[in-house]
Structure 1
Amino acid sequence: MKALIKKLIDFLKARPYCLILVIWPAQIIWYGVLNHLIVQDPAKSHLIHIPFDDKIPYIRQFSLFYILWFVFIAACLIYVLIYSKKDFLRCAVGCMFTLYVCMTFCTVFPTYHDLRVTDTGGGLTGLIVKMIYAADEPTAIYPSMHVMVSYVLAIRMTFAESMKGKIWWKAFIWFFATMITLSTMFIKQHSSADVFLALALVIPFDLIVRFLILPDRRFKEKDAPAGAAENDTVST
């Protein structure tokens, strides 16, 4: 056990830039507070509901993909953390930039929806939906942060140097991001309008991170973590 802990400490010491993640909890707290402060009243907040929403069925089984969003984020970040400073920072900063901009927008433009079902159904997936509904109010929804973060990571993972030649893994990542996106609508956690806006913003946000916040010139080969495979090192 001690040897394992030492390996973990050494791993993190070789990658001090992973400390950027310490600012993430502030967004989680911000969302938690805002999510319960927004009043679900059209006189005080903006109702997000378009006709297409009424054509989307409720499918409780998609709740599994919705909650696996957190695992998806962790898996992507851990993978790139192992191999490349550049890819890790672009993934991590891409996520946080997206979340903080969305939170700012949700704060000045409070939103909610009225799409939730009263009968979530039985079984494990029905219980999961009930738990999601209980923990997360249908507020601060526009655009969908689930969707934006999923595709920001999908794009960054596609271009990660350590993912070169791994076509099936890339396809799986895009498939999973798509299933997460569909889950937001099928369990009635988001309006399709939230999803459409998120999809429209993903590429602009990624370009901002890729070319303005973290352009190639900010990285050098020496920035690659010790022990990373030679073909996965960061280059200018």
Structure 2
Amino acid sequence: MRQILSFFRKYKHMWVLSYGFIYLPWFCYLEKTVTRNYHVMHVALDDYIPFNEYFIIPYMLWFLYVAGAIFYFMFTSREDYYKLCIFLFSGMTISLIVCTFFRNGTDFRPVLDPGKNIFTGMVAALYKTDTPTNVFPSIHVYNSIGTHIAIMKSEALRKHTGVRIGSAVLMVSICLATVFLKQHSVIDVIGAVIMSYVIYGVVYGYNWSAQDKKVTEKALG
């Protein structure tokens, strides 16, 4: 018991994660109530993007990517942890507010053959558990961008070029997965990118130093 109490005293900043008790019930409420009479998010470009079930891999890795970054910074850097959480939770709240007052969704999910391969089976399972509503802006995209920004801003990870490049590749793959799996419209992705830019300025500011730019350009090749 003493060790448990010592752990919570040392990492008392984990209280921020209690935001989940606000987000999850709100999100589940929207999933149950926004089922019809919603605005369909669609642009012409969506029709040119083919369905590709293999993108289910980076799409599902999103959960480990975001959660892994949160816990890594919780144990290693309180400042980076707070900034990441503020970034993520601010956008997630804005998304919930948008979906509450602007009911939205998509209507272009393809008919799948779950028995085709393991990947289509996984996508079919995803479709059953995740409704095609409350898609704008895309939280998958937004949180991926926020996680990558936190990794790029981390002093501890500055010399770990492989981690930074891997993060960039995974972030881009997750963003692409949202449209190739027909989970989101391109407009949902654009909305998430715009929101990321705005929240970035609030949390980190826009005045990157020359060192930041140099390291970023090196990490991205």
TM-score tier (shorter):
0.7 to 0.9
Question: Alignment identity in percent?
Answer: 24
Aligned 1:136-215 pairs, distance under 5 A: 136-211=130-205
Structure 1 residues 195, 15: closer, same or farther in 2, change over 3 A?
same
Number of matched pairs = 204
**Does residue 68 of structure 2 align to residue 100 of structure 1?**
no
- Of 115-124 and 57-66, deviating more is 115-124
What's the RMSD between the two structures over aligned residues?
1.8
- Given that residues 47 and 113 in structure 1 are in contact (C-alpha distance below 8 angstroms), is that contact kept between their aligned partners in structure 2? yes
Aligned 1:1-236 pairs, distance under 5 A: 6=3, 10-40=6-36, 44-121=37-114, 122-211=116-205
Structure 1 residues 62, 23: closer, same or farther in 2, change over 3 A?
same
- Mapped to 2, the partners of 1:151 and 1:177 lie a distance apart of 6
- Given that residues 91 and 195 in structure 2 are in contact (C-alpha distance below 8 angstroms), is that contact kept between their aligned partners in structure 1? no
- Given that residues 60 and 120 in structure 1 are in contact (C-alpha distance below 8 angstroms), is that contact kept between their aligned partners in structure 2? no
The letter of the residue matching 1:84 is S
- Please report how far the alpha carbon of residue 11 of structure 1 lies from its aligned counterpart in structure 2 after TM superposition: 3.8
Residue in 1 that maps onto 2:219: none
- Given that residues 157 and 164 in structure 2 are in contact (C-alpha distance below 8 angstroms), is that contact kept between their aligned partners in structure 1? yes
- Given that residues 148 and 171 in structure 2 are in contact (C-alpha distance below 8 angstroms), is that contact kept between their aligned partners in structure 1? yes
- Given that residues 41 and 104 in structure 2 are in contact (C-alpha distance below 8 angstroms), is that contact kept between their aligned partners in structure 1? yes
- Mapped to 1, the partners of 2:5 and 2:60 lie a distance apart of 29
Q: Which runs of 5+ in 2 are unaligned?
A: 206-221
Structure 1 residues 34, 56: closer, same or farther in 2, change over 3 A?
same
- Mapped to 2, the partners of 1:95 and 1:204 lie a distance apart of 12
Structure 1 residues 12, 160: closer, same or farther in 2, change over 3 A?
farther
- Mapped to 2, the partners of 1:129 and 1:23 lie a distance apart of 28
- Please report how far the alpha carbon of residue 140 of structure 1 lies from its aligned counterpart in structure 2 after TM superposition: 0.5
Query: Normalising by structure 1, what TM-score?
Result: 0.81
- Please report how far the alpha carbon of residue 154 of structure 1 lies from its aligned counterpart in structure 2 after TM superposition: 0.7
- Please report how far the alpha carbon of residue 120 of structure 1 lies from its aligned counterpart in structure 2 after TM superposition: 4.6
- Given that residues 87 and 161 in structure 1 are in contact (C-alpha distance below 8 angstroms), is that contact kept between their aligned partners in structure 2? no
Secondary structure, counterpart of 1:163 in structure 2:
coil
Residue in 2 that maps onto 1:214: none
> Could you list the per-position Cα deviations for residues 33-71 of structure 1 after superposition, in whole angstroms to 9, with x for gaps in the alignment?
20221133xxx3211111100100111011121122111
- Mapped to 1, the partners of 2:86 and 2:121 lie a distance apart of 34
Q: Which runs of 5+ in 1 are unaligned?
A: 212-236
Residue in 1 that maps onto 2:217: none
- Please report how far the alpha carbon of residue 9 of structure 1 lies from its aligned counterpart in structure 2 after TM superposition: 5.7
Query: Normalising by structure 2, what TM-score?
Result: 0.86
- Mapped to 2, the partners of 1:197 and 1:12 lie a distance apart of 37
Which stretches of structure 1, 4 residues or longer, exceed 6 Å deviation after superposition? none
- Please report how far the alpha carbon of residue 190 of structure 1 lies from its aligned counterpart in structure 2 after TM superposition: 0.6
